[in-house]
Amino acid sequence: MTLLKREEWQGFVRDVDWTPTYVDYEAIYPEWHCGTGKVPREAWQGWEESYKVSYPEYVATQREKESSTYAVKAALQRSNTFQDLDEGWKSATKMHFGGVALVEYAAVIGELKMARFGLNGSWRNMATFGQLDEMRHAQITTFFGHEFVGQDAQYDWTQKTFHTNDWVPIALRNLFDGMMVAPNVVDLAIELPFTFETGFTNLQFIALSADALESGDVNFANMISSIQTDEARHSQQGGPTMEILVEHDPVRAQWVIDKSFWGSARAFAALTGPAMDYYTPLEHRKQSYREFMEEWIIDQYIHTIEDYGLKKPWYWDEFITGLDTWHHGLHMGLWYWRPTVWWRPKAGVSKDERAWLASKYPNWENVYGDKWDVMIDQVNANNVAATLPETLPWLCSTCHLPCCNATPSRNGEWKVRTWQLDYDGKKYHFCTNACRQIFWKDRDNVNHETLIDRFLAGQIQPMDVGGILNYMGMTPDAMGDDPDYGAWTRDYIGRAVEGIAAATVQGATQ
Amino acid sequence: MTEQVRKPRARRTFSAFGEIRKMPSEYEIVTHGQNWTTRQNRTSAFEQNPSSAPNMWFKTYRDNSALQAHDWEQFRDPDQYTYRTYVNAQAESELKVHGVLEEYSAAGSAAALAPGWVETLATLYTPSRYPVHGFQQIEAYIGHMAPTSYVTNAAGLATADFLRRVTTIAYRTRELQLAQPSSDIGTDHERRVWETHPGWQPARKAVESVLATYDWGEAFTALNLVLLPTLDDVLSRQFGEIARDNGDELTWLLHGFLDADNQRRNRWSIALAEFAITQQPTSASAIDKWVARWSPIADAAAQGLATILAETPEIPRNADAVTAGAKAAREGLLRGILAPAEAVAKVSAP
Ligand SMILES: [Fe+2]
Ligand SMILES: [Fe+2]
Ligand SMILES: [Zn+2]
C-alpha cells in the first residue's frame, strides 16, 4: 500500500472557507485590509494557484535545500576565499546583505497579512508557505552576512541598515512598507508577488548569482540561487489575484501595477545599477544594466501585462529614457555621499571603464564625463577632501532618492532638474515626473517627510555633515570610502581635462 | 577620508546585541531585530504619512496594546526554533505520520471502524478542518502584528503547524471517504456540520469572535492562552483517547505526533506571557482581564464538542467530564501566570 496522491485530497485543504454568522463578514474581512473593492465577494471563490504544493512535500524539499546550502557554506568556510575577493564585488555583497536581509523579513510580515486576510482559503494557504519561505530568506541572508562581521565592520549593516535613518533605508522602507506590508491584500498580491517577485527579484538574483560566480564567490552564488528556487512557489499568488482584479476592475489593476513597477525600478536603479555597471570588475561584466533590464525585465514585463489585457504604463517613455541616466546619476550620488553608505563604492571610471560605459551608453561622456573629470583632477591634485560632501541633495518626496536625473535641454545640454509641486502650503520636490504624479494620486499615504524635510525642520542636530552622519547611524568603522582612488585616476595624471574626455568619446565611437 | 581611521576592535557579532560577552546563538543571530517596523526611535511603524490608515492600525492595535514589555527584543522562544530547525523537525515528524498512515492503510483499518465511531469522525473530526483553518488565520494575524520578530517567527511557524493539521485532516477525510462510501464524509457535509451542528456552534462563535479581535495582545491571549489550550484538550488529547477506546488506533497515534506542535506553541506562549508580566507588571492585569473574558467562551466551545463525544461513539465519554478536563488543562497551563500573588512576587524579584 502506498499513500494517497496529493490530487486526491488536496481539495479539502483548499476548501476551508465558510460563511460567518456570529460576527459580520466585514468584521472578519474588513475592506480596508482585504480591498475587494469593485470585485464581488463571490468572485474570489475562483482563485486558484497553478502550482500546487502540500505541507509534507514542502518540509521535505526545504529540508534538503537547507542542508545543501549550509553544507556548501561549511565547506567553503575552511577555505579562505573571502580575502581574495575584489573590493568592488565585496561592496556589491554588502549592499545586498544590508539592502535585502530585512526586506525579506518585510515580506514575512506581508505574507502573514495575506495568510490572514486573503480572500480565498487556498490563497491564505499559499501565503502560509510564503511567510515560511521569506523567513528562510531573511534568516539565510542574515546568517551569511553575519559570517563576515569579524573581518569587515561594514557587514554589521546586514542587520543594522533598516534600523537606521540612513537615506538609503529610508527610501527602501518607504518603498517596501508601501508595497509589501501596508496595502490591502489584493494590492499587496499584485505589488509583491506579481510585480516585484516575478519581475525584479529575478534581476537581482540572476544577475548577482552570475556576477558572484564570475567573481569567485561560490558561497554567495549558492545562497542566492537557493533562495531564488523558492520564488516560483509563493510568487504565483500574484497571477490568480491579477486575473480576478483585471476582470472586475482593470483601471485599478493598471494603477497598482504601474505604481509598483515604477517604485521598484527606481530602487533597482539605485542598487543593482551601480553594482552591475561600476562595481563589478570590467573583465567580469557580461551585460550592461540597461541591456540586462531590456532582456530580463522589459520584454517579459510588457508581455505579461499585455497577456492580462493591460497597457504599457503611462510613464513608459520616461522610464525607458531613464535607463540611460537614473543609475549613472545615482551611482555618482552614492560615490559622492560615500560616507553615508555601508560599502566602499568604487568610482569605476578609469579610461577602460569609461570606454566601456561610453560604448554601452553613447551619451555617458557627454552627461557624466565632465563631472567625473572634476573629481579626478581633485584626486590627482591630492585634494580628496574637496570631493567630499558638504551639503545634502534634494530628495524626491515619492521615492526618497536624490533628485539627480539629467535630462536634455532644448539646446542639447544635459541638466539635472527637479519636478516640483505646490501642495497644502508646501513645495515638494521630485526626481521625475512620474514620481510627482504618483505622489499626487497617493498623497494621503505617501505624504511623508524626506530626510531633507527633517534637516530643514531642525530635527537633525548639529546641522552639519557630522550631525547628519550621526542621525543616519553611521559610525567611523562602517563609513564608506573609495577603496582605491588610484585605480581610476592614475590614467589621467598630468592631462588636460577636456582632451581626455573628448578622446574617450572619440575612441568609443570609432 | 584620507587620514587613517583608528582601527577598532574587530566585531564578533552584530552591534544590535550590544556589548556582550557571550556570543549569540545561531537562533538569536537570525531572529534578532528582523522587523524594522518595531525599530527604536521610529515616528511610526511604516515609512509613510504617520497618520495613514496602516500606521494608525499598528499604533492602535500593536503599539498601544495593553500587553506591554519595555524591551520585546529580549524575549526568547524556549525551543529556539529557526526556519532550519523547523523544517528538519517537521520533515522528520511527517515521515512518522506517513509511516503510520501506510501501515494502517495496509491493514485496511479505515474500513473496519465501528459505525458509531465513523459517525463521530464525520461529526467531530473531518469538519474540524474549518476551525483549524480559522486558528491558522488568527495565528497569522498574531505573527503579522507581533512587536518583535522573536514572536512573529514563533507565530509564523505555529501558523504553518495549523496548515499541517488541516492537511492531515484532509488526507484522512479522503481515506475515510473511500473506505466508508455510505457515510457522507468528504462531501459538503463537513461545512454543513461546522456551520449548523449544535455541538459545533459555540466553537464557531469562539473562532469568529477571535478572528474579529484586532488588539494583538488580546488576540494572542484569546487564541494561544485560552481557546487553544482548551480545545486542544478536547480535539487532541481526549479525542485521541476516545479514538483508541473505540478501536481507532491510527487517530490516536496521529494526534500524538501532531500534539508536539501544540506543546511547542504552549511553551512559547506561556513564556511570552511570563516575559511580558515580568517586564511590565501592568501586562498581568491585561492578561487576567482577557482570560476572564474568553474563558467562558472557550468553555462553551468545549461543552458543545463534549455533547458530540457523549453521544455518537460506541464507547462515549461523559460530557461534563470532557468539559471539566478541558477546563482543567487550560487552568493548569495558565496557573503560573494568573495567580496574582505569584505574579507580583515574580515582578518584585527580578
Ligand atoms: Fe524572498
Ligand atoms: Fe519572495
Ligand atoms: Zn522619485
Read off the pLDDT of residues B113-149 as tens digits, 9 standing for 90 and up: 999 999 999 999 999 999 999 999 999 999 999 999 9
Spatial CA neighbour of A59 closest among A127, A136, A114:
A136
**Would residue A265 count as lying in a domain?**
yes
Contacts of B136 in chain A (CB under 8 A): 115, 124, 128
Q: How many CB atoms sit inside 10 A of residue B263's CB?
A: 11
Contacts of A152 in chain B (CB under 8 A): none
Test B159 with A182 for CB contact under 8 angstroms: no
Segment B284-310 shows an average pLDDT of 98
| B243 contact partners, CB below 8 Å, separation of at least 6 | B117, B249, B251, B252, B255
Q: Residue B16 burial (CB < 10 Å; 0-12/13-18/19+)?
A: middle
**Would residue A2 count as lying in a domain?**
no
pLDDT at A269: 95
**Would residue A252 count as lying in a domain?**
yes
> What's the rounded Cα separation, in Å, for the pair A257 and A241?
12
pLDDT at A214: 87
**Would residue A296 count as lying in a domain?**
yes
> What's the rounded Cα separation, in Å, for the pair A108 and A229?
17
Ligand having the closest approach to the CA of A135: 1
**Would residue A20 count as lying in a domain?**
no
Which of residues 16 through 45 in chain B touch A, CB cutoff 8 A? 16, 26, 29-37, 39-41, 45
Contact in structure between B130 and B96 (CB atoms under 8 Å):
no
Spatial CA neighbour of B210 closest among A131, A34, A41, A22:
A22
Cell of B103: 501501515
Distance from A103 to chain B by nearest Cα, in Å? 9
Cα–Cα separations (whole angstroms), residue A359 to A353, A356, B321, B342: 10, 5, 83, 75
Beta strands in A165-276 (DSSP E): none
Cell of B212: 474579529
Which of A18, A58, A159 is closest, CB to CB, to B130?
A: A18
A vs B: CB pairs below 8 A: 260
Which helix or strand (DSSP H or E) is residue A420 part of?
A: strand A419-423
Enclosing domain of residue A489: 53-501
Instruction: Using the mean position of ligand 1's atoms as its centre, give its distance from the Cα of residue A451 in Å.
Output: 28
B8 has a pLDDT exceeding 70 = no
**Would residue B278 count as lying in a domain?**
yes
**Would residue A195 count as lying in a domain?**
yes
**Would residue B202 count as lying in a domain?**
yes
Test B102 with A160 for CB contact under 8 angstroms: no
Q: Which residue of A has its CA nearest to B208?
A: A23
> What's the rounded Cα separation, in Å, for the pair A238 and B144?
20
Contacts of A472 in chain B (CB under 8 A): none
B316 touches chain A (CB under 8 A): no
> What's the rounded Cα separation, in Å, for the pair A418 and A424?
19
Tell me, what CATH number does B197's domain have? 1.10.620.20
pLDDT at A509: 37
Spatial CA neighbour of A15 closest among B157, B186, B161:
B186
Q: Which residue of A has its CA nearest to B105?
A: A1
pLDDT at A507: 39
Q: Which residue of A has its CA nearest to B126?
A: A12
**Would residue B283 count as lying in a domain?**
yes
Cell of B208: 469568529
Cell of A84: 581574495
Instruction: Using the mean position of ligand 3's atoms as its centre, give its distance from the Cα of residue A418 in Å.
Output: 9
Test A62 with B91 for CB contact under 8 angstroms: yes
Q: How many residues does chain B have?
A: 350
| B55 contact partners, CB below 8 Å, separation of at least 6 | B44, B45, B46, B48, B49
**Would residue B58 count as lying in a domain?**
no
**Would residue B14 count as lying in a domain?**
no
3-state secondary structure chain B: CCCCCCCCCCCCCCHHHCCCCCCCCHHHHHHCCCCHHHCCCCCCCCCCCCCCHHHHHHHHHHHCCCCCCCCHHHCCCCCCCCHHHHHHHHHHHHHHHHHHHHHHHHCCHHHHCCHHHHHHHHHHHHHHHHHHHHHHHHHHHHHHHCCCHHHHHHHHHHHHHHHHHHHHHHHHHHHHHHHCCCCCCCCCHHHHHHHHCCCCHHHHHHHHHHHCCCCHHHHHHHHHHHHHHHHHHHHHHHHHHHHHHCCCHHHHHHHHHHHHHHHHHHHHHHHHHHHHHHHCCHHHHHHHHHHHHHHHHHHHHHHHHHHHHHHCCCCCCCHHHHHHHHHHHHHHHHHHHHCHHHHHHHHHCC
Tell me, what CATH number does A153's domain have? 1.10.620.20
| B344 contact partners, CB below 8 Å, separation of at least 6 | B281, B284
pLDDT tens track, chain A, 510 positions: 589 999 999 999 999 999 999 999 999 999 999 999 999 999 999 999 988 999 999 999 999 999 999 998 888 877 767 888 889 899 999 999 999 999 999 999 999 999 999 999 999 999 999 999 999 999 999 999 999 999 999 999 999 999 999 999 999 999 999 999 999 999 999 999 888 888 788 777 777 888 888 888 999 999 999 999 998 888 889 999 999 999 999 999 999 999 999 999 999 999 999 999 999 889 988 899 999 999 888 888 888 899 999 999 999 999 999 999 999 999 999 999 999 999 999 999 999 999 999 999 999 999 999 999 999 999 999 999 999 988 888 999 999 999 988 888 888 888 888 899 999 899 999 999 999 999 999 988 888 899 999 999 999 999 999 999 999 999 999 999 999 999 999 999 987 655 444 444 343 333
> What's the rounded Cα separation, in Å, for the pair B76 and A485?
46
Instruction: Using the mean position of ligand 3's atoms as its centre, give its distance from the Cα of residue A407 in Å.
Output: 14
How many domains, chain B? Answer: 1
Instruction: Assign A318 to helix, strand or coil.
Output: helix
Provide long-range contacts, Cβ within 8 A and 24+ apart, for A296-301.
A296/A202, A296/A203, A296/A206, A296/A207, A297/A199, A297/A200, A297/A202, A297/A203, A300/A199, A301/A199, A301/A261
Q: How many CB atoms sit inside 10 A of residue A424's CB?
A: 8
Spatial CA neighbour of A430 closest among A394, A455, A483, A381:
A394
Per-residue pLDDT of B89-117, as tens digits, reads 999 999 999 999 999 999 999 999 999 99
Contact in structure between B234 and B307 (CB atoms under 8 Å):
no
How many domains, chain A? Answer: 1
> What's the rounded Cα separation, in Å, for the pair B16 and B298?
41
Which of B32, B53, B195 is closest, CB to CB, to A18?
A: B195
Ligand having the closest approach to the CA of A421: 3
Q: How many CB atoms sit inside 10 A of residue B349's CB?
A: 7
Q: What is the pTM of this model?
A: 0.95
Work out the pLDDT band at B10, boundaries 50, 70, 90.
confident
CA gyration radius, chain A: 24
A4: DSSP letter: P
Per-residue pLDDT of B187-218, as tens digits, reads 999 999 999 999 999 999 999 999 999 999 99
Distance from B316 to chain A by nearest Cα, in Å? 28
Enclosing domain of residue B114: 76-348
> What's the rounded Cα separation, in Å, for the pair A112 and B216?
14
Which of residues 54 through 113 in chain B touch A, CB cutoff 8 A? 54, 82-84, 86-88, 90-91, 94, 97-98, 101-102, 105-106
Which of residues 197 through 256 in chain B touch A, CB cutoff 8 A? 204-205, 208-209, 211-212
User: Which residues are within 5 Å of ligand 1 (an ion), measured at CB?
Assistant: A 104, 134, 137
pLDDT at B339: 59
| A456 contact partners, CB below 8 Å, separation of at least 6 | none
Cell of A160: 543594522
**Would residue B136 count as lying in a domain?**
yes
Instruction: Using the mean position of ligand 1's atoms as its centre, give its distance from the Cα of residue A228 in Å.
Output: 8
**Would residue B6 count as lying in a domain?**
no
Test B101 with A151 for CB contact under 8 angstroms: no
B159 touches chain A (CB under 8 A): yes
> What's the rounded Cα separation, in Å, for the pair A187 and A256?
6
Choose the mutation target among A2, A63, A340 for the interface with B, i.e. most B CBs under 10 Å: A63
**Would residue A144 count as lying in a domain?**
yes
Instruction: Using the mean position of ligand 1's atoms as its centre, give its distance from the Cα of residue A150 in Å.
Output: 26
Test A13 with B34 for CB contact under 8 angstroms: no
Which of A128, A165, A384 is closest, CB to CB, to B160?
A: A128
**Would residue A445 count as lying in a domain?**
yes
The single-letter code of the amino acid at A126 is M
Cα–Cα separations (whole angstroms), residue A398 to A96, A175, A262, A407, B335: 23, 9, 11, 19, 52
Contact in structure between B144 and B275 (CB atoms under 8 Å):
no
**Would residue B121 count as lying in a domain?**
yes
Instruction: Using the mean position of ligand 1's atoms as its centre, give its distance from the Cα of residue A342 in Å.
Output: 22
Which helix or strand (DSSP H or E) is residue A128 part of?
A: helix A121-146
Which of A128, A143, A482 is closest, CB to CB, to B29?
A: A143
A395: DSSP letter: B
Segment B151-178 shows an average pLDDT of 98
